[in-house]
A and B are shown apart, each in its own frame.
Chain A
């Protein structure tokens, strides 16, 4: 099997490395520049404490952005992630309020994530509906459920050890959520760029029909990704609850846009098949460093949002401009000859 599909898609690792030279290279340069500017503007920027905070303040978003990268490379999208985070946090709050011990509530909530992901996957694979529509519906559905569960109130007073897991360092200066982020990143890099499954993710994203005819279990790959997305979103919701020590119906509201922004900024094509986790991680680091740098420079949040927006437009515009330029040169060259 593995020998036959090399002709279909270039080897992912080679592809990743050759790709690194252009868009990822540009991102890396932007990242280094951002860090240099930040470090020169603020003397606290490079402190361990600030570097940890830089991740912690957006940790739930960037954990979900990792799995979102695979889904978008697969030429699908999951808009329901933030609502699932909200549902998970609220379900956890509800269970806690009704006396369910935390040791039991956590697995139940993760199971809700798996089921939610499987629900999405069912409509997308078995029924063949577009993921944009299915997950848009669930964006509304899961959020509604979350609001029904906690109504118009906040649930707080979780045990101190649970809050501490979200707030305090666990190993060295690293809190649990940051360790989870790095572990997930390492795991997904291996899966996407070094395994057959990862190759299928690209193949399906490039050309679904061709993948089907090559005997790839397209539905199984897609279902795996959406179930993983549901479970990871639920986990992120739990981490949010622990970090702020309280939940209410609007937990993670609107986070899906920030998450998708980071992925697209990483050079992952919204049409699938193109991009790498390295691009995604560079983009994540750029956004986090920009936000942190602007916060330390006391730039107000309205402007921060605007800057990130401009960056996204550039990320879509620049690669297109380049290919347009190339096309223009080619037509001129062929016209001459």
Chain B
């Protein structure tokens, strides 16, 4: 009897929560003060500047009288630099730190210090792998679906049969690692039996290194059909390498790229097909999430819903791609090819 009534109550409660959440998704109250820091993996990459554009847009729209800082480390000092910036943010008692994490779990001690100092730690683009010291992760698209799209693109480029190699960013980049893992899972399906993943190499998101790694792949695997680069730096470097060596007919390049950077390679056939999402939107949604948490309008609990301005309603959920951690899922993303790239690049 007791159990039954408890069950009854909890069912009612959860039903109430579910409908309640849908009905009263939190509308952001404007003009509340919160000092925010947007931290990219490092400075000097277009997508991170785009994310900053989106965050600045949200910052102005929400009329936050506080500061929004965009500070990042130099590429060769990314890990130590990220740790330093998060530590400084803690010292300065910032209200929210938004991190595109490039430091794996090495960032945890610094992020924990920021939390202890009262900041909300929101990751975007790339989460903290262990989920420790992180309030919520704003995921660009579902990691599993990135894996499937990459498998599908490889399948269609290879016509169902052939060798693929992955050119990734840094070995510690949590997002790239998760996408590659998701792709490997997707490849186990019957449909992709003909697609063989022969190697995974790392260009550290540096153009020159990625370029060299792409050429090394071609030398090592004479039958290679496609280089899949789930990073905007890697895909561009690989496409340029294949173009420079006149290899575009034999080895196709695909993965995640920026239309404006990939336009010429798609038109000349070196990278016929690739995918991406909008980093401006990602920055915008990340800012909304962090602002609402830093001003206490949402607490970051699973099931909470909020309206992120022009992008509409989002709900915080358990991150299915990690053992620990919550996420807000942005989605969807676009596959670019000859038909739509010119319009997208002109944006």
Task: Say if the beta carbon of B22 comes within 8 Å of chain A.
Answer: no
Q: How far is the CA of A250 from the CA of B205 in the complex (A)?
A: 14
**B interface footprint on A233-255 (CB within 8 Å = 1, 0 otherwise):** 00000000001111010100110
Question: Contact: B43 with A296, CB < 8 Å?
Answer: no
**B interface footprint on A32-46 (CB within 8 Å = 1, 0 otherwise):** 000000000010100
Task: Say if the beta carbon of A301 comes within 8 Å of chain B.
Answer: yes
> Which of A154, A157, A167 is close to B171, meaning CB atoms less than 8 Å apart?
A154
Task: Say if the beta carbon of A156 comes within 8 Å of chain B.
Answer: yes
Task: Say if the beta carbon of B77 comes within 8 Å of chain A.
Answer: yes
Q: How far is the CA of A154 from the CA of B201 in the complex (A)?
A: 14
> Which of B69, B91, B92, B172 is close to A154, meaning CB atoms less than 8 Å apart?
B172
Question: Contact: A44 with B109, CB < 8 Å?
Answer: no
Question: Contact: B84 with A302, CB < 8 Å?
Answer: no
Question: Contact: B105 with A246, CB < 8 Å?
Answer: yes
Question: Contact: B93 with A44, CB < 8 Å?
Answer: yes
Task: Say if the beta carbon of A224 comes within 8 Å of chain B.
Answer: no
**A interface footprint on B92-131 (CB within 8 Å = 1, 0 otherwise):** 1100000000011110110000000000000000000000
Known: A44-B93, A296-B92. A57 touches B84 (CB 8 A): yes
Question: Contact: A295 with B105, CB < 8 Å?
Answer: no
A47-55, A63-71, A135-143: which one contacts chain B? Answer: A47-55
Task: Say if the beta carbon of A300 comes within 8 Å of chain B.
Answer: yes
Task: Say if the beta carbon of B299 comes within 8 Å of chain A.
Answer: no
Known: A44-B92, A246-B106. A152 touches B43 (CB 8 A): no
Task: Say if the beta carbon of A5 comes within 8 Å of chain B.
Answer: no
Known: A50-B91, A245-B105, A300-B71. A295 touches B79 (CB 8 A): no
Task: Say if the beta carbon of A298 comes within 8 Å of chain B.
Answer: yes
Q: With both chains docked as a complex, state the minimum distance between the C-beta of A216 and any C-beta of chain B, in angstroms.
A: 40
Question: Contact: A298 with B71, CB < 8 Å?
Answer: yes
> Which of A47, A156, A292, A296 is close to B104, meaning CB atoms less than 8 Å apart?
A156
Question: Contact: B93 with A152, CB < 8 Å?
Answer: no
> Which of B43, B87, B93, B109 is close to A163, meaning CB atoms less than 8 Å apart?
B109
Known: A167-B109, A301-B43. A44 touches B171 (CB 8 A): no
Question: Contact: B76 with A152, CB < 8 Å?
Answer: no
Residues from chain B with Cβ under 8 Å of A254 in the complex? 76-77
Residues from chain A with Cβ under 8 Å of B76 in the complex? 253-254
**A interface footprint on B50-89 (CB within 8 Å = 1, 0 otherwise):** 0000000000000000000101111011011101110110
Question: Contact: A57 with B108, CB < 8 Å?
Answer: no
Chain B residue nearest in CB terms to A294 = B88
Residues from chain B with Cβ under 8 Å of A154 in the complex? 104-106, 171-172
Chain B residue nearest in CB terms to A246 = B106
> Which of A50, A53, A153, A301 is close to B73, meaning CB atoms less than 8 Å apart?
A301
**A interface footprint on B13-41 (CB within 8 Å = 1, 0 otherwise):** 00000000000000000000000000000
> Which of B69, B92, B108 is close to A245, meaning CB atoms less than 8 Å apart?
B108
Residues from chain A with Cβ under 8 Å of B80 in the complex? 57
Known: A156-B105, A246-B106, A298-B69. A305 touches B92 (CB 8 A): no
Q: How far is the CA of A21 from the CA of B88 in the complex (A)?
A: 35
Q: How far is the CA of A1 from the CA of B10 in the complex (A)?
A: 90
Chain A residue nearest in CB terms to B85 = A295
Question: Contact: B171 with A301, CB < 8 Å?
Answer: no
Residues from chain B with Cβ under 8 Å of A153 in the complex? 171-172
Q: How far is the CA of A47 from the CA of B71 in the complex (A)?
A: 23
Q: How far is the CA of A253 from the CA of B77 in the complex (A)?
A: 8
Chain A residue nearest in CB terms to B201 = A152
Task: Say if the beta carbon of B202 comes within 8 Å of chain A.
Answer: yes
Question: Contact: B202 with A300, CB < 8 Å?
Answer: no
Residues from chain A with Cβ under 8 Å of B73 in the complex? 301
Chain B residue nearest in CB terms to A152 = B171
Known: A57-B83, A298-B71. A49 touches B91 (CB 8 A): yes
Q: With both chains docked as a complex, state the minimum distance between the C-beta of B15 and any C-beta of chain A, in angstroms.
A: 41
Question: Contact: B74 with A302, CB < 8 Å?
Answer: yes
Question: Contact: B79 with A244, CB < 8 Å?
Answer: yes
> Which of A163, A248, A305 is close to B172, meaning CB atoms less than 8 Å apart?
A248
Q: With both chains docked as a complex, state the minimum distance between the C-beta of B113 and any C-beta of chain A, in angstroms.
A: 9
Q: With both chains docked as a complex, state the minimum distance between the C-beta of A151 and any C-beta of chain B, in angstroms.
A: 8
Known: A163-B109, A300-B43. A244 touches B83 (CB 8 A): yes
Q: With both chains docked as a complex, state the minimum distance between the C-beta of A87 and any C-beta of chain B, in angstroms.
A: 17
Residues from chain B with Cβ under 8 Å of A157 in the complex? 105
Residues from chain A with Cβ under 8 Å of B104 in the complex? 154, 156, 246, 248
Question: Contact: B92 with A243, CB < 8 Å?
Answer: no
- Residues facing A in B231-255 (CB within 8 A) are none
Chain A residue nearest in CB terms to B37 = A298
Q: How far is the CA of A53 from the CA of B109 in the complex (A)?
A: 12
Chain A residue nearest in CB terms to B200 = A152
**B interface footprint on A206-244 (CB within 8 Å = 1, 0 otherwise):** 000000000000000000000000000000000000011
Question: Contact: B43 with A295, CB < 8 Å?
Answer: no
Known: A53-B87, A296-B88. A301 touches B105 (CB 8 A): no
**A interface footprint on B290-305 (CB within 8 Å = 1, 0 otherwise):** 0000000000000000
> Which of B72, B92, B172, B201 is close to A301, meaning CB atoms less than 8 Å apart?
B72
* Most chain A CB inside 10 Å of its own CB: which residue of B74, B92, B106, B171: B106
Can you name 14 A-B pairs with beta carbons within 8 Å? Answer: A44-B91, A53-B87, A154-B104, A154-B106, A157-B105, A167-B109, A243-B109, A246-B105, A248-B104, A253-B76, A296-B88, A296-B92, A300-B72, A302-B43
Q: A152-B201, A244-B83, A301-B81 are in contact. List 18 more A-B contacts (CB 8 A).
A: A42-B92, A44-B93, A49-B91, A50-B91, A152-B171, A154-B104, A154-B172, A167-B109, A244-B106, A246-B105, A246-B106, A248-B172, A250-B79, A296-B91, A298-B69, A298-B71, A301-B71, A301-B72
Interface residues of A, Cβ cutoff 8 Å to B = 42, 44, 47, 49-50, 53, 57, 152-154, 156-157, 163, 167, 243-246, 248, 250, 253-254, 292, 295-296, 298, 300-302, 305
